[in-house]
């Protein structure tokens, strides 16, 4: 009885200590910025409100965690600092190098860290409360654990110490040089950015700018076939990134692939907003960009209808624009493709932890009437969703080991951030992520029209990536429940970018389709859809290409010049707008 009472008392003390420490940690993260160094951007981490009730942990799980911890810590201490004792989790690549096993102090530090990490994550899982609170607790603990790993500190990183000795201190000197360089540029280097130049070795598909206004440039690409489909094809990429993720290299360019399939292809290249655009709104982007681009493509080609694709936020913008046009009695798009896009924001995954009334009101007060959301702040937040892979991995390599990260076009693009106008961003936060108004028929008025996605009855191709942490596959699938027309849903392997950029020539990954749906009726959940799905090896691009061809019309002679009499070529692709840095 006495031992049980002591254990219960110790468990209660552990609960109080964990809860207090966690609340302080989350508050500090919100106020000071996670992982921020002088000159570096900060992460907007949601804090637990001051008036929130204390965190409570499941008593049974708490005692179980404590008993397991006491047993494991005793085993670790008894092993002492003996050389040759295996690190607790050898598969953790942060401690995989032989230097960790051959250094008793480093080995013990890694083992103790991994034990404490397992225990803290166990405590996070034991928190009682609603799913959002639990998700925030898990996120906060994960961030703290990622930041405090012994591999992040030169005094504990045996691998970095070994390299410093082998290079006679040159790695440390180079690490300091790298740190000063990154502080000056405002972000941690993920690749050797000096290797790449937009228009020279990324975004190289041949074309021309045929229209521009203060929001975007419209690019038209040179045909690669003698004939093209009569119905032109317009791509609307996300405005929170630059379009050339769709045109990195010739061998993995979705844009070039579309051109090679015989589509007369146009792409929206968003302007990187500066102070002159600080008052622009969601309505502005819909009317002056998405709708304008559709109209200009129609005018240039003479086509009554076009095919369109929206990627990520570009899909949300495209769907909104089509709903506005439908309310006006116009249906200029014959088919629409939505790649990893959210139309119904019921499932937003990990990003949901950042969104509540308090955070939305703060952004509305801060920039709802004017201002800019700096691109690097947004990029930093996305990076910290995968802190070990996209932050601390480079901190260790760049600064502790003095390494230069290898050239990688995708990571160069990832570092080429874009700003957002404050009013646009504040509207987007409240009406999509927070209140999910876009999915509610008639709830929103955009460009003077009541928005109803139920009026978008054109055929649609909806794609979601299985491991997407930005747009969960269930969130992408939810569009099947909103859009009334004939639909095809395809799930690809991998994540938000790697799943989309998966050219057929690589013969990598796989994708899933379900052609067994009765009368094309989609079940309510993506999980139910998957039960009847079939996996296919390789890229989903071929499936999409076959689908798009069926909506592209007959073949006609390819144009010999860019644009038209009214819309003449302004400059070669990729144009000026994409080259502007945030």
Mean pLDDT of all residues belonging to the chain: 89
* List of residues 6+ apart from 499 with CB closer than 8 A: 340, 465, 466, 467, 468, 492, 493, 509
pLDDT of residue 8: 53
Token reading at 25: 């940690």
pLDDT of residue 38: 30
463 close to 340: Cβ distance less than 8 angstroms: yes
Give the model's confidence band at 12: pLDDT under 50 very low, under 70 low, under 90 confident, else very high.
Answer: low
Share of the chain above pLDDT 90, in %: 74
pLDDT of residue 563: 96
Average pLDDT over every residue of 446-456:
98
Helical axes 59-79 vs 104-125, angle rounded to 10°: 170
Query: What stretch of H or E contains 547?
Result: helix 541-549
CA–CA separation, 411 vs 193, rounded Å? 9
**Residue in 94, 124, 91, 121 with CA at minimum distance from that of residue 109:** 94
pLDDT(51) > 50: no
Coil, strand or helix: which one is 100?
A: helix
Give the model's confidence band at 401: pLDDT under 50 very low, under 70 low, under 90 confident, else very high.
Answer: very high
Give the model's confidence band at 34: pLDDT under 50 very low, under 70 low, under 90 confident, else very high.
Answer: very low
Given 172, 190, 198, 312, which residue is catalytic? Answer: 312
Give the model's confidence band at 518: pLDDT under 50 very low, under 70 low, under 90 confident, else very high.
Answer: confident
pLDDT of residue 31: 40
Give the residue with greater pLDDT, 383 vs 556.
556
pLDDT digits (tens, 9 = 90+) for 55-98: 788 888 888 988 888 888 888 887 765 555 444 445 689 999 99
pLDDT(4) > 80: no
pLDDT digits (tens, 9 = 90+) for 106-129: 888 898 999 999 999 999 999 888
Q: Among this protein's residues, is 447 annotated catalytic?
A: no
In DSSP notation, 235-260 reads EE--TTS-GGGGSSSGGG-HHHHHHH
pLDDT(447) > 70: yes
User: Which residues in 331-454 belong to E strands, given as ranges?
Assistant: 333-339, 372-373, 420-421, 445-446, 449-450
Domains in the chain (CATH in brackets) are 2-37+51-166 (no CATH), 207-374+419-579 (3.40.50.1820)
Average pLDDT over every residue of 10-15:
54
pTM for this one?
Answer: 0.89
Average pLDDT over every residue of 389-407:
94
pLDDT digits (tens, 9 = 90+) for 192-211: 999 999 999 999 999 999 99
Average pLDDT over every residue of 153-159:
94
Specify the pairing of strand 571-572 against strand 207-212.
Answer: antiparallel
Average pLDDT over every residue of 528-540:
96
Average pLDDT over every residue of 467-487:
96
Give the residue with greater pLDDT, 357 vs 14.
357
pLDDT(3) > 80: no
């Amino acid at each position: 009885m006495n031992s049980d009472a002591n254990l219960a008392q110790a468990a209660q003390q552990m609960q109080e200590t964990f809860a207090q420490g966690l609340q302080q940690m989350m508050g500090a993260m919100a106020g000071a910025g996670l992982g921020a160094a002088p000159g570096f951007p900060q992460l907007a981490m949601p804090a637990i409100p001051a008036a929130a009730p204390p965190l409570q942990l499941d008593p049974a799980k708490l005692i179980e965690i404590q008993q397991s911890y006491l047993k494991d810590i005793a085993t670790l201490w008894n092993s002492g600092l003996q050389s040759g004792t295996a690190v607790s989790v050898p598969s953790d690549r942060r401690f995989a190098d032989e230097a960790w096993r051959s250094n008793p102090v480093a080995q013990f530090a890694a083992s103790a860290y991994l034990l404490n990490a397992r225990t803290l994550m166990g405590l996070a899982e034991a928190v009682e409360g609603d799913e959002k609170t639990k998700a925030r607790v898990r996120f906060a603990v994960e961030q703290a654990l990622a930041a405090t790993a012994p591999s992040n500190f030169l005094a504990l990183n045996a691998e970095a110490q070994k390299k410093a000795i082998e290079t006679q201190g040159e790695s440390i000197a180079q690490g300091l040089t790298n740190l000063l360089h990154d502080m000056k540029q405002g972000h941690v280097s993920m690749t050797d950015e000096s290797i790449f130049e937009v228009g020279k070795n990324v975004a190289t598909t041949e074309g021309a700018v045929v229209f521009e206004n203060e929001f975007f440039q419209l690019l038209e690409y040179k045909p690669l076939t003698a004939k093209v489909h009569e119905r032109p094809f317009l791509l609307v990429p996300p405005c929170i990134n630059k379009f050339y993720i769709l045109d990195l290299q010739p061998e993995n360019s979705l844009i070039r692939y579309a051109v090679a399939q015989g589509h007369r292809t146009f792409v929206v290249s968003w302007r990187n907003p500066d102070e002159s655009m600080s008052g622009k709104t969601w309505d502005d982007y819909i009317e002056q960009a998405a709708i304008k681009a559709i109209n200009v493509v129609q005018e240039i080609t003479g086509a009554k209808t076009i095919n369109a694709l929206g990627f990520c936020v570009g899909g949300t913008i495209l769907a909104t624009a089509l709903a506005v046009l439908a309310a006006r009695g116009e249906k200029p798009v014959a088919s629409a493709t939505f790649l990893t896009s959210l139309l119904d924001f019921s499932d937003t995954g990990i990003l949901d932890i950042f969104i509540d009334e308090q955070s939305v009101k703060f952004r509305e007060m801060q920039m709802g009437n004017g201002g800019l959301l700096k691109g690097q702040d947004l990029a930093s937040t996305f990076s910290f969703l995968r802190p070990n892979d996209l932050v601390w991995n480079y901190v260790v390599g760049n600064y502790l080991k003095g390494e230069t990260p290898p050239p990688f076009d995708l990571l160069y693009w990832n570092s080429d951030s874009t700003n957002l106008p404050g009013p646009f961003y504040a509207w987007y936060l409240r009406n999509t992520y927070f209140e999910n108004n876009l999915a509610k028929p008639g709830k929103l008025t955009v460009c003077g029209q009541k928005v109803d996605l139920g009026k978008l009855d054109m055929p649609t191709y909806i794609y979601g990536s299985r491991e997407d942490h930005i747009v969960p596959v269930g969130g992408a699938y939810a569009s099947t429940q909103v859009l009334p027309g004939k639909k095809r849903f395809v799930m690809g392997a991998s994540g938000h970018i790697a799943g989309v950029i998966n050219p057929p020539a690589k013969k990598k990954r796989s994708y899933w389709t379900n052609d067994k749906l009765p009368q094309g009726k989609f079940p309510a959940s993506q999980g139910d859809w998957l039960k009847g799905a079939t996996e296919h090896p390789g890229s989903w691009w071929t499936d999409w290409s076959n689908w798009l061809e069926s909506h592209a019309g007959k073949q006609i002679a390819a144009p010999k010049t860019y644009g038209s009499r009214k819309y003449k070529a302004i400059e070669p692709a990729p144009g000026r707008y994409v080259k502007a840095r945030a």
